[in-house]
Amino acid sequence: MPRPTALILILAGLCASSLGQYNEEEDLAWLQYYLRQSRASSYNYVPYYEEESPAYAYSYPSATDTEPEPEPEPQQAAPWRCPQECDCPPNFSSAMYCDTRNLRYLPFVPSRMKYVYFQNNLVTSIQEGAFDNATELEWLALHNNQISSEKMGKKVFGKLQRLERLYMNNNNLTRLPSPLPRSLRELHLSYNQISKVPPNALEGLENLTALYLSHNFIFEMGASLKGLKSLILADLSYNNLRKVPDGLPASLEQLYLEYNYINAIPDEYFQVSPRLLYVRMSHNSLTNQGLSSNTFNSSSILELDLSYNRLQKIPRVNTNLENLYLQGNQINEFSISSFCSVVDVVNYSRLQVLRLDGNAIKRNAVPPDAPLCLRRATVIEI
């Protein structure tokens, strides 16, 4: 029979052996879990547009007391990898964010990219072939840089046959980029130094729905809009136009021409655009001599802004018009025939808002049949 001391030693040895085996298995499971966690990272992405702050953020597992894994040896960058100057979200692999980084050049764009953001930098030039590798691009944001027309490759967008949106507003462009991909749907060129739009500058852009050319120095558009069969919105405000563009597309719904020097509009000018809803021509030089009796007699127009011009009489408008802005002109009479050719129970204007303040009309000059003609008006300011 073993002695008590020897029995205690034997039991202690067995317990130590069992405990050692348990700790070894637990350590192995914990190590495997740690290795999995140390290789994982999470990425939260929320889309943002232009001047909003990027909404993406990285988060990593908290540090532990254990020794980190050795870093891999540096390898040569492959063409599909993200440039070190940019961020490419792991769960949005077709987007590349290079915005607001004080970049003075355009980094290499991997071929898989569809959405690339270079806005809010110091880029002054785009070298020839800069996007030749990225033929899948659909969105290209280059706004708020210092790009000039003289420092752009002649065919820099030539191979981007899937590009839908091009943002180049707030740069130093003196002419429209050309040639442009026929796939374009939106072209943003506001706040540049463009002075002329050649007749063929927008040729072939049959998919273009929105054209933004405001805040430039354009003095002539010619018939450059006529071939844009899908155009819905044309913003030509804040330019030096002396005349309206020749020939509007039939698809047009919104036309913005405010803050120019236009003094006349051809007869039935808006009739070729049966879908036109909004026309804004405030702060021009329009006179009644430069308008015909049918200039604004378009049944589709719902909002017409002619404020701050040189009109002396209220122009004739269609009875379907809902909002008419004429403040800041030289109008001295209230002509009910401008709104209703016939005044009775059946014939009346759909006008809801009428602004005539800042003119020479006296309040007692409103004709007695005005309430019958303008029965739907909720705001009339004189």
Tens digit of each residue's pLDDT (9 = 90 or more) over 193-213: 999 999 889 999 999 999 999
- In this model, does residue 6 exceed pLDDT 60? no
- In this model, does residue 35 exceed pLDDT 70? no
If pLDDT is split at 50, 70 and 90, which confidence band does 36 have?
very low
- In this model, does residue 329 exceed pLDDT 70? yes
- In this model, does residue 21 exceed pLDDT 50? no
pLDDT confidence of residue 17? 40
Q: Where are the beta strands (DSSP E) in the chain?
A: 42-44, 57-59, 95-97, 115-117, 139-141, 165-167, 186-188, 210-212, 233-235, 254-256, 278-280, 303-305, 323-325, 353-355, 379-381
Out of 42-51, 349-358, 368-377, give the one with best mean pLDDT: 349-358
pLDDT confidence of residue 305? 98
97 by DSSP, 3-state: which?
Answer: strand
Across the chain, mean pLDDT equals 83
Q: Where are the beta strands (DSSP E) in 13-114?
A: 42-44, 57-59, 95-97
For 73-98, b/e burial (b = at least 16 CB within 10 A) is: eeeeeeeeebeeebbbbeeeebbbbb
Instruction: Write out the two tokens for 104.
Output: 């003075």
Rounded CA-CA distance 217/119 in Å is 23
pLDDT confidence of residue 328? 97
If pLDDT is split at 50, 70 and 90, which confidence band does 14 have?
very low
Rounded CA-CA distance 197/201 in Å is 6
If pLDDT is split at 50, 70 and 90, which confidence band does 4 have?
very low
Residue in the block written with tokens 């100057």: 85
- In this model, does residue 164 exceed pLDDT 80? yes
pLDDT digits (tens, 9 = 90+) for 67-79: 443 433 333 345 5
pLDDT confidence of residue 192? 98
- In this model, does residue 181 exceed pLDDT 70? yes
Residue in the block written with tokens 């998919």: 207
pLDDT confidence of residue 80? 62
How many helices (H) and strands (E) the chain has is answered by 2, 15
Q: What is the DSSP letter of 290?
A: G
pLDDT digits (tens, 9 = 90+) for 340-361: 988 888 889 999 999 999 999 9
What are phi and psi for residue 24, nearest 5 degrees? -65, -40
Rounded CA-CA distance 330/359 in Å is 5
Out of 33-47, 66-80, 362-376, give the one with best mean pLDDT: 362-376
pTM here is: 0.78
Percent of the chain at pLDDT > 70 equals 79
Q: Are 277 and 300 in contact (CB under 8 A)?
A: yes
- In this model, does residue 24 exceed pLDDT 50? no
Alpha helices in the chain (DSSP H): 4-39, 370-373
pLDDT digits (tens, 9 = 90+) for 228-243: 999 999 999 999 999 9
